[in-house]
Amino acid sequence: MIQGEFRNEKSKLLYNTGIDYALDLIGGKWKTIIIYLLSIKPRRTGELVKQLHISHKVLSEEMKQLIKIGLVNRKSYASIPPKVEYSLTEKGYDLYAVLRYLTVWGEEQATKNPKVQIMCTDAM
pLDDT tens, residue by residue, 93-106: 999 999 999 888 99
Cβ–Cβ < 8 Å for 109, 117: no
CA distance 7 to 20: 14
- The CATH number for 42's domain is 1.10.10.10
Range of the domain at 51: 30-111
Cα 77–chain centre separation: 23
Burial of 108 (0-12, 13-18, 19+ CB in 10 A): exposed
The angle at the Cα of 45, spanning 84 to 89, to the nearest 5 degrees, equals: 65
Integer angstrom CA distances of residue 35 from 32, 101, 118:
5, 14, 16
Region 42-49: what's the mean pLDDT?
95
pLDDT tens track for 56-93: 999 999 999 999 999 999 999 988 888 999 999 999 99
pTM: 0.81
Encoded amino acid at 29, one letter? K
Q: Is residue 95 part of a domain?
A: yes
Region 5-25: what's the mean pLDDT?
80
Which pLDDT belongs to residue 1? Answer: 46
Q: Is residue 1 part of a domain?
A: no
